[in-house]
């Protein structure tokens, strides 16, 4: 059984390791958003497939017999396309989506549908940490008027910061809660905007926000109607074992 593992989440690395240890022939794929991604431990291709036709050609060339989709919970387009292709070709497909975060006592969360809604909730002159990555940075143009925005990303930016106040903050998760607290105090952060990615690797910013009384705008996950889904690594590995 030759398995294509669409990576991009922390769970993907664990799935790759456990399948490899069981002797499963796995090839992983990363979109190439990060310049130096963490090693997955199995043969890995990096970069897009070149659309629908390119993805189909890759599946045929590599003799892929099943697909485990362990991309980021917000990679809705990738998951929908992959599921559609697998359905057409009769390939078993499974999406691995970890549970989202749950608001607890002391949290100051406001749930929103997308980046453009942020301007409705954050007061003028606020200092905002964008923990949503560089790909959606331009969607905060309206929010930047009168406010200071800091955008956290893994790689140093190849572009100038597009807004008059703020800048890029470079860092790779996981982060320690104490370090997050130090950073937020240093920057004078009033609000954090985050995606409901779930998982432990990037949870520390939410714990630090609770500790400091910082508000969080939490972007809801997109609805992904893409076939069968599990939440854990163990369920994904068991699914492959039963093929």
Sheet bearing 109-112, strands edge to edge: 109-112, 215-219, 191-195, 127-131, 148-153, 166-170
pTM above 0.85, yes or no: yes
CB atoms within 10 A of CB 92: 17
What's the pLDDT score for residue 203? 94
Kindly state whether residues 87 and 156 are assigned to the same domain: no
226 strand-pairing partners: none
Q: What is the largest CA-CA distance in the chain?
A: 56
Kindly state whether residues 44 and 118 are assigned to the same domain: no
What's the pLDDT score for residue 157? 86
Residue 75 within a domain: yes
Give how far the C-alpha of residue 66 lies from the chain's centroid of Cα atoms, to the nearest Å. 23
pLDDT in tens, the chain (243 residues): 899 999 988 899 999 999 999 999 999 999 866 767 777 889 999 988 988 999 999 999 999 999 999 999 999 999 999 999 999 999 999 999 999 999 999 999 999 999 999 999 999 999 999 999 888 999 999 999 999 999 999 888 889 999 999 999 999 888 999 999 999 999 999 999 999 999 988 899 999 999 999 999 999 999 888 789 999 999 999 999 999
Distance separating alpha carbons of residues 4 and 233, to the nearest angstrom: 15
Distance separating alpha carbons of residues 165 and 29, to the nearest angstrom: 37
Q: Kindly state the tokens that stand for 122.
A: 């954050």
Domains in the chain, number: 2
What's the pLDDT score for residue 227? 85
CATH number for the domain harbouring residue 166: 3.40.50.150
Q: Look up the domain containing 68 and give its range.
A: 2-99+223-241
Helix, strand, coil abundance in the chain, percent, nearest 5 = 35, 20, 45
């Amino acid at each position: 059984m030759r398995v294509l593992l669409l990576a991009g989440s922390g769970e993907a690395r664990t799935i790759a390791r456990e399948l490899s240890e069981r002797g499963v022939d796995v090839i992983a794929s990363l979109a190439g958003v990060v310049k130096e991604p963490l090693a997955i431990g199995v043969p890995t291709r990096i970069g897009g497939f070149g659309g629908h036709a390119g993805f189909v050609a890759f599946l045929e060339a590599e003799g892929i017999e099943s697909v485990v989709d362990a991309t980021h919970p917000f990679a809705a387009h990738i998951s929908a396309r992959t599921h559609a292709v697998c359905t057409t070709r009769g390939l078993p497909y499974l999406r691995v989506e970890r549970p989202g975060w749950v608001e607890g006592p002391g949290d100051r969360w406001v749930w929103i549908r997308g980046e453009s809604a942020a301007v409705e909730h954050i007061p003028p002159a606020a200092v905002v940490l964008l923990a949503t990555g560089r790909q959606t940075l331009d969607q905060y143009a309206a929010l930047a008027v009168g406010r200071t925005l800091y955008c956290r990303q893994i790689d140093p930016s190849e572009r100038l910061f597009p807004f008059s106040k703020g800048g890029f903050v470079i860092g790779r998760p996981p982060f320690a809660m104490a370090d997050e607290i130090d950073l937020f105090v240093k920057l004078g952060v009033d609000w954090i905007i985050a995606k409901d990615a779930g998982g432990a690797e990037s949870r520390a910013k939410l714990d630090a926000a609770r500790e400091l009384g910082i508000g969080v705008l939490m972007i809801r996950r997109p609805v992904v109607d893409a076939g069968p889904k599990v939440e854990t690594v163990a369920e994904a590995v068991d699914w492959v074992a039963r093929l």
